[in-house]
Each structure stands twice: as C-alpha cells, then as structure tokens.
C-alpha cells in the first residue's frame, strides 16, 4: 500500500477539488450588475449580449438559465470551498502565516509524486489527466494548491512523529499480514447456521457470496491482507486472525451490531527490509498521512463552525449535501 498516493488523492477527491468556481452571487443586486449595464452610453444590445455565456445553433444561452443547474450539480462543492477559503484567510491572518509560491509548488509536487510518474513527460501527462478527470481549470487548480498549502501550514504544529508511531508504521507496512475471508451475519442464530454448513464441507466463499452482509461478499468474502496492528479493523478481528492457520475457520466473533466468521487464506511473511533501511520512507509517508487526516478535520471544523445563509433553493440543497459529507451530520440538518 502506498500511503503517499492514498493520502494525497483521497484528500484531493474529498476536500479540495472543485468542478466550478465559487464566484456566482447568491442573489443579484443592482450593485453587482456588470459595469456595462451601468454605463449610460452602452448600447442596449451590448448589455443583453453580456449576459449570454454560449450559443446553441445560433440561439443564446444566458447565464441565468444555467445557474440553477450549476448550483444543483456543483454549487455545494464550490460553496464549501468558498467557506473553507474564507476561514483559512482568517486563520492565516491570526497566525501570521504567509502562503508562498514555493509552498504551492510543493503541494503540486506532492500530487505529482503520488501519481508515481516514470519520467517528467509522464508526470505532465498524468497531472493533466487528473485535472481533466476532476474538471480542474487553472483557477480552481491554483485555488486547490493554495488551500492545501494553507491547511498544511495551519496544522503543522500538531504533527508529532514519535518512535512508537514510526515502529507501528513499520509493522503496518512491512510486518506480516494475514489475508482472510469473512462472513458477516446480523444475528448469532444465522452465524451458527452458516458454521454448521461449513462443518458439512460447504464452500466458505460460496456461503459468503450468498449470505454475508459485508461488501466483500462480491469476492466470496475475501479481504485485502491485514496487518495485526491495523487500527482500521476491530481489535477482536485482529486477535482472531493471528490465532488461525491457513485453512482454519474461527469461532463466531461478536461485532458491534453483527456476528462474523473468518477463514484464513494465507499468511504473508514479514518483509526482509529492516527498520533502519526504510525509516526515512516511513517517516515521510506517515507524516503525509497524518497531515491529510488533520487537514480534513480542520476543513470539517471550518464547515461546521461557519454561519452560512444560502438564498437560492438549488444551491441550498447542494450545500446541505456537501456540508453533511464534511460534518457527518444527519441529512437535512
């Protein structure tokens, strides 16, 4: 697993990438009318044309006709970015932090590194493709780089890599791993029934595919290799895994709201690379991963604490959806 790529691209996909600029006003007022409309000498035809953003078969498409659709499709993301940017501006001023072009270039390089290019030409191609996939023009790409650089600077003091964390990261990445299959059922009666079928020789993968409520049922319950120190998994799962030998099936495991069975498929031995050989690599990837988590948390704090009044219905709904993604609030709150 490459944590550099995971952290940077995950962060890009969730908090910094925007499909459109957040410069549209919530409500048009006389003060915000384009200058050409306020110029007495401007012909009326010029004022009318200035509101058009495209032509379809010779027919004009006005800005106002697109706004509702744009608000609904991407307005929430654009507004969320605007909220974060406004909070960042206040925070940077309070902390007396200046975001330099060098800091923004460093953010760009992190993204390029995460794409693992084999040459400078491929780096250009992969970055261009990423921007195309995310709908990032020059404006939003630069806003993204500034946003990332600012968030990273704001949370910098909270990143503390102690020896224990580094050793745990080494075990997570280079230590032994266990690859199991899993069956998850809603109650103990069902898990006992499955266990009975397994005792009769039925296939674990077939039973997982037909019965398990876990999303791994599509792969016959097969999970990715798991490190015994991976905090993303319940401790009870990790404890059961290390007890098993390949081919063995666990007893019923009690989870929060369900029950599970594990079958160990294979054990992947620890890497031959020693801690001192990869310490610098581990420190870099761990730092980036912690930074990404803290940056996401800080962005969520900005969203949750900001007082936002939305006047346009389509933008309001889109904003609520995006706000809930950041704050995990119930829909409609």
State the average pLDDT over residues 140-145.
95
Contact (Cβ atoms closer than 8 angstroms) between residue 106 and residue 153: no
Residues contacting 234, CB < 8 A, separation 6+: 255, 256
pTM of the predicted protein model: 0.69
Integer Cα distance of 311 and 28 in angstroms: 11
Q: Is the dihedral of CA 51, 57, 58, 59 positive or negative?
A: negative
Give the model's pLDDT for residue 250.
97
State the average pLDDT over residues 34-38.
38
What are the extents of the domains in the chain? 3-160+277-327, 176-268
Q: What is the DSSP letter of 272?
A: S
Question: Of 77, 57, 75, 76, whose CA–CA distance to 66 is shortest?
Answer: 75
Residues contacting 247, CB < 8 A, separation 6+: 263, 264
| Token pair of 323 as six digits | 């706000």
Of the ranges 66-70, 132-136, 237-241, the best mean pLDDT one: 237-241
Of 5 and 94, more confident: 94
State the average pLDDT over residues 265-291.
95
- Level-2 CATH architecture, domain 176-268: Roll (3.10)
Share of the chain above pLDDT 70, in %: 83
| Token pair of 197 as six digits | 């079928």
**Mean pLDDT lowest among 60-64, 88-92, 95-99, 305-309:** 60-64
**Mean pLDDT lowest among 36-40, 194-198, 288-292, 329-333:** 36-40
pLDDT band at 50 (very low <50, low <70, confident <90, very high): low
Question: Of 260, 264, 262, 236, whose CA–CA distance to 188 is shortest?
Answer: 260
State the average pLDDT over residues 313-323.
92
Confidence check: pLDDT of 41 > 60: no
Of 1 and 228, more confident: 228
Contact (Cβ atoms closer than 8 angstroms) between residue 291 and residue 47: no
Rg (CA), the chain: 26
């Amino acid at each position: 697993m490459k944590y550099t790529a995971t952290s940077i691209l995950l962060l890009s996909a969730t908090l910094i990438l925007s499909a459109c600029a957040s410069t549209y006003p919530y409500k048009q007022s006389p003060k915000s009318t384009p200058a050409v409309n306020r110029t007495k000498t401007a012909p009326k035809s010029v004022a009318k044309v200035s509101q058009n953003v495209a032509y379809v078969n010779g027919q004009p498409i006005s800005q106002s006709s697109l706004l509702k659709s744009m608000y609904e499709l991407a307005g929430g993301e654009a507004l969320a970015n605007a909220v974060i940017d406004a909070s960042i501006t206040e925070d940077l001023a309070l902390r007396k932090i200046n975001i330099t072009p060098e800091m923004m270039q460093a953010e760009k390089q992190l993204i390029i590194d995460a794409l693992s290019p084999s040459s400078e030409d491929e780096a250009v191609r992969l970055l261009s493709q990423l921007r195309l996939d995310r709908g990032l023009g020059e404006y939003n790409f630069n806003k993204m780089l500034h946003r990332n650089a600012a968030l990273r600077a704001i949370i910098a003091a909270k990143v503390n890599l102690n020896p224990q964390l580094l050793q745990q990261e080494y075990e997570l990445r280079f230590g032994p791993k266990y690859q199991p299959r899993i069956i998850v059922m809603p109650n103990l009666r069902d898990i006992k029934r499955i266990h009975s079928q397994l005792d009769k020789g039925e296939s674990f993968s077939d039973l997982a595919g037909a019965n398990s409520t876990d999303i791994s049922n599509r792969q016959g319950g097969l999970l990715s290799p798991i490190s015994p120190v991976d905090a993303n998994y319940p401790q009870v799962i990790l404890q059961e895994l290390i007890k098993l030998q390949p081919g063995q099936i666990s007893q019923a495991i009690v989870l929060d709201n369900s029950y599970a069975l594990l079958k160990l498929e294979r054990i992947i031995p620890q890497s031959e690379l020693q801690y001192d050989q990869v310490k610098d690599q581990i420190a870099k990837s761990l730092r980036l991963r912690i930074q990404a988590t803290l940056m996401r948390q800080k962005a969520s704090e900005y969203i949750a604490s900001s007082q936002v009044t939305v006047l346009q219905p389509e933008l309001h709904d889109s904003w609520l959806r995006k706000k809930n993604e950041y704050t995990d609030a119930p829909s409609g709150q």
